Amino acid sequence: MLQIINLKKIFKIQNNHNIAAIKNINFNCRKGQITGLIGPNGAGKTTTLRIISTIMNPTEGTVLFNNIDVRKEPNEIRRRIGFLTGSTGLYPNLTSIEILNFFCSLYEVDKKKKVITDLIEMLDMESFVNKKVDSLSTGMRQKLSIARTILHNPEFFILDEPMNGLDVLTSQSIRNFIIHEKKKGKCILLSTHNMHEAEHICDEIVLLHKGSIVTQGVPSELIEKEKMKNLEEVFLNFIGN
Amino acid sequence: MNIKKILTLFLKEMNEVFRDKKSLTMMIFIPLILYPFVLISTGYFSGNEINKVKNLKQSISIFCPDPMQQVPLIEELKKTLVVIKSTNPRLMLNKGEVEAVVEVNSCRLTGTSEFVIYFDKTRLGSVTAEKKIKVILEKGKKRNIVERLRAYNITEKILENFKIESINIASSDQMGAFIVSKIFPLMILILLFSGAMHNAISITAGEKQRQTLETILVSPLTRTEIVIAKYLTIFCTSLISTIIGLISLYLVFSYGFYMISNLTTESFSLSAVGLLLMFISIIPLSILFSSVLFMVGCWARTYKEAELYNTGILIIIIAIGIMTTNTQENIDINYFLFPVFNVVLTLKELLKEQVNVLHISLTVFTTFIYSFISLIISQRLFSKEAIILRI
């Protein structure tokens, strides 16, 4: 289980001016569940995900994954997480198989060849496995990104707007992948702008606004509690449109 | 620290370098093809141009108020130059219709003549004409003095009691080394920096821009391991580019003089030990430049921003190179403490086959210290999330 305890992040900008991107947030993310992190632009979603994924350090607070402190043992956490964003790039001059080989070596994956063969088969990548990333379509690239994210069999997924800017078919394949991993008992933290998607695939919702959690809970319960028709209305109700 | 993981990232980066056309162009094509081509062709064509102009008969004009004085002078000049009659020779010179104008002012009373040569120093033909006129006039002057002395029954040997002669004691090899020492270090400096520039930007600021850096940051590699792997890639690129450049330039200067031997008497050769010592002196600078490139790449948000900073640094490096190549001999030892300056000075010495162990040691040692400091700063920068994540 992932535990976010009193997490705070302050960015120092020019003229000794500080901006609190996250203000003492607390939430949990359980195994076999998808936790949706939603909020408008600048709410602090990406900052939260970056802290959890060890890219950033929090100003205050703790992030525990299976009781391992992210700050104290970042390398241990990195081995256990799969990080995917909609904007993540891939090395343009390498082929898909080279990228998979490279990340398998970094994560010290056992039986590298078998893992790669299985992934290629599972994600239907045979047709472009030897092609350079430069020449791949968006859908092919996204499949490769998914393969890269899951090749070390992570226990926990951090997905930052993974369907952002993708067409319907590619979004569908990502959605299928998320649900597939959830069924395998993985812990998934998903940041998204798509309220419809969040309402239907997330088991729990955390709504962030201006760095604070304004509400959290099961989507259907939140809708009922706020007496709204859907999650989008709940979102608008809290954000104040 | 996991060496295997560092090696994995390093090999991946090198793989990308060798597949990137821009990196290959900067690292191999420019030092191997472009530098030799530019050097040989400019040397050959400019040398040929000088020879061609020397063999031409330049047009000149003479302005002489006394026609009696003009006759012997014109006859003399006509042998090597074309003398054109004109009422306004200076205007013709300004228009470029003649290459030089000789103004003769004679005084019949004293029997003296004053010759003023007008020419345009920006034109090769004009400069050549001026030299030819001077030679002819000097000969005429000497002949005139001899004739006058004879009239007084004095032998011309009286003129030889005071003879001035300059003899260049430098051999053709030394002269070649002197010329090469003015160009070679500067070119090596440019190669060291520019050879790795594109690659350094690509694997730092370029990765930020392409958003591939995050995938490495969340992988089980520590920041230090990432820094080492990326730094090694930049260093290797710089070194490959420099080795190719060093060999290429050595061959160009060795065979370049041979190719233009009809134009010059200089030659150039360097012993294997000299070449090795040059390489040893260059390595620390390659380390320093690599860490500077890495530092800039970490700092910059985008490829273009890094390119802008690096272009500025390259201009400073070129300026230092030009300043140092034109410094005097027996320079103060303190200069060997300054980065870049010291390497250029050491290279200059080595090209002239002057092996000064103290200078080489000081250069290598101080540059290593600067490199180490720069590398620590780079590592610190890479650890700062505000810098590494700013896009």
**Structural domain includes residue A61:** no
Whether residue B215 and residue A88 make contact (CB cut-off 8 A), yes or no, is yes
Cβ atoms of A219 and A226 closer than 8 Å: no
Structure tokens at A206: 């955390």
pLDDT digits (tens, 9 = 90+) for A179-191: 988 998 899 999 9
**Structural domain includes residue A24:** no
pLDDT at A241: 56
Interface residue B5 vs chain A (CB under 8 A)? yes
**Structural domain includes residue A67:** no
pLDDT digits (tens, 9 = 90+) for B152-208: 888 777 777 777 788 878 777 777 777 777 778 888 888 889 888 999 999 999 988
Separation CA B253–CA B183 (nearest Å): 10
Whether residue A105 and residue B217 make contact (CB cut-off 8 A), yes or no, is no
Q: What separation, in Å, do the N-terminal and C-terminal C-alpha atoms of chain B show? A: 29
Which of the given ranges, A149-163, B34-48, B64-78, B342-356, has the highest pLDDT on average? A149-163
* CATH number for position A50: 3.40.50.300
**Structural domain includes residue A21:** no
Separation CA A8–CA A26 (nearest Å): 10
Percent of chain A with pLDDT over 70: 98
Total count of domains within chain A: 1
Separation CA B248–CA B254 (nearest Å): 10
Whether residue A103 and residue B219 make contact (CB cut-off 8 A), yes or no, is yes
Minimum distance, in Å, between the CA of residue B291 and any CA atom of chain A: 23
Sketch the domain layout of chain B as residue ranges.
Answer: 3-40+173-388, 53-161
Query: Which of A58-62, A120-124, A189-193, B322-326 is least confident?
Result: B322-326
Cβ atoms of B238 and B284 closer than 8 Å: no
Four-way CATH pick for B53-161: 3.40.50, 1.10.3470, 2.60.40, 3.40.190: 3.40.190
Which three-class secondary structure string do you get for chain B? CCHHHHHHHHHHHHHHHHHCHHHHHHHHHHHHHHHHHHHHHHHHHHHHHHHHHHHCCCEEEEECCCHHHHHHHHHHHHCCCEEECCCCHHHHHHHCCCCEEEEEEEECCCCEEEEEEEECCCCHHHHHHHHHHHHHHHHHHHHHHHHHHHHCCCCHHHHHHCCCCCCCCCCHHHHHHHHHHHHHHHHHHHHHHHHHHHHHHHCCHHHHHHCCHHHHHCCCCCHHHHHHHHHHHHHHHHHHHHHHHHHHHHHHHHHHHHHCCCCCCCCCCCCHHHHHHHHHHHHHHHHHHHHHHHHHHHHCCCHHHHHHHHHHHHHHHHHHHHHHHCCCCCCCHHHHHCCCHHHHHHHHHHHCCCCCHHHHHHHHHHHHHHHHHHHHHHHHHHHCHHHHCCC
**A91, A135, A151, A158: which to substitute to probe chain B, counting the most B Cβ within 10 Å?**
A91
What residues contact B117, with CB distance under 8 A and at least 6 apart? Answer: B100, B101, B102, B103, B130, B133, B134
Give the residue carrying structure tokens 């706020």.
A226
pLDDT at B268: 64
Interface residue B355 vs chain A (CB under 8 A)? no
- A68-69 and A60-65 as β-strands: parallel, antiparallel, unpaired? antiparallel
Interface residue B121 vs chain A (CB under 8 A)? no
Whether residue A78 and residue B218 make contact (CB cut-off 8 A), yes or no, is yes
Domain span at residue A134 reads: 31-54+74-239
User: Is residue B262's pLDDT more than 70?
Assistant: no
Q: Would you tell me how many other CB atoms lie within 10 Å of the CB of residue A16?
A: 6
pLDDT digits (tens, 9 = 90+) for A20-75: 889 989 998 988 999 999 988 888 888 999 999 888 889 999 999 888 898 888 88
Minimum distance, in Å, between the CA of residue B332 and any CA atom of chain A: 44
